[in-house]
Amino acid sequence: QEYTAIKMKVLEWASGVSDDFKAALEGLDVYMVAATLRPETMYGQTNCFVGTGINYGIYKASETEAYLVTERAARNMAFQGTFDDRGKLHKVAEVKGADLVGTKVNPPFGVIPEIYIVPMEGVLANKGTGVVSCVPSDSPDDYATLMDLRKKAEYYKIQPEWVANEPIPVLNTPNYGDVTAAALVAKLKINSQKDKVQLAEAKDIAYKEGFNFGTMLVGDYKGRPVQEAKPLVRKQLIDAGLAFPYAEPENQVISRSA
Ligand code: ZZB
């Protein structure tokens, strides 16, 4: 499975992280790295998800940069030549997902330049990087999760203003309009992120409709079919140093709804 790893620069840590943690990161630009199959939707990021019970590490990529991902992902990256010191892990700090909630990051190509880290229940520790970009316009899981977070901010230990961004129209599909995920969540009567079966179906439809019939509404490839724009936006992100290819070995591939 070939993902695009998206580098979200940390602008401000949540109040949950310790002073020792911050001290360990002195002099480094830290990026939370999300694995996505849909680089063309990055304009529509409203948040970024972590699993509250997942352990993350911060690994040096170069003298000046470090990436926040699961150890499993860092190991894959090391072998894929992502880090200057190929094949080696240099962990500078570790942190629990719960302590990252409220951190502010910059999403590459995002229409909204500063977004907050919030919790998602279904984030898998053994898939991608354990960091997930939230695109509620085109991912039904993300849309349903965002609605849950808004309804129960206190329960999820978040500030309401962290989830105040509305979904941003990124692409049009002839059958579901400019905010495909919202239309599908309504159509399949999905009430929350716990409605796994309907969400799996909605995701399947959203992928197919977006890829086969979608037209871009924003960015340099506005007006072009998603099928054409997808590799072009991916290349733009990579050329700008905001993303890199990340592959998941065959035996590690897991589907979100599995
Ligand atoms: C942004 C995005 C925008 C995504 C979209 C999807 C969609 P899949 O489909 O199951 O093979 N993801 C990545 N890592 C994890 C994880 N550890 N736990 C849970 N979810 C994860 O998985 C690929 C997608 O699952 C990734 O692409 C990511 O969300 C999420 F408009 O990134 B995506 C219809 C889907 N649309």
Residue from 2, 36, 124, 208 whose mutation best tests the ligand 1 pocket (most atoms within 8 A of CB)? 36
pTM of the model: 0.96
**What pLDDT shows up at residue 251?**
72
Q: What's phi and psi for 106, nearest 5 deg?
A: -105, 115
| CA distance linking residue 203 with residue 95, whole number of Å | 30
Residue from 115, 132, 253 whose mutation best tests the ligand 1 pocket (most atoms within 8 A of CB)? 132
- The contacts of residue 56 (CB under 8 Å, 6+ apart) are 50, 68, 69, 70, 94, 95, 96, 97, 100, 130, 131
Helix-strand-coil split of the chain, %, nearest 5: 35, 25, 45
pLDDT band for position 253 (cuts 50, 70, 90): low
What is the per-residue pLDDT across 19-58, written as a single tens digit (0 to 9) for each? Answer: 999 999 999 999 999 999 999 999 999 999 999 999 999 9
Cα of 95 from ligand 1 centre, angstroms: 22
Q: Where are the domains of the chain?
A: 2-252
Superfamily name with CATH number, domain 2-252: Valyl/Leucyl/Isoleucyl-tRNA synthetase, editing domain (3.90.740.10)
Asked whether 44 and 23 are in contact (CB, 8 A), the reply is: no
Q: Facing residues of 9 across strands?
A: 31, 106
pLDDT band for position 258 (cuts 50, 70, 90): very low
| CA distance linking residue 71 with residue 126, whole number of Å | 10
Checking if the pLDDT of 256 tops 60, the result is: no
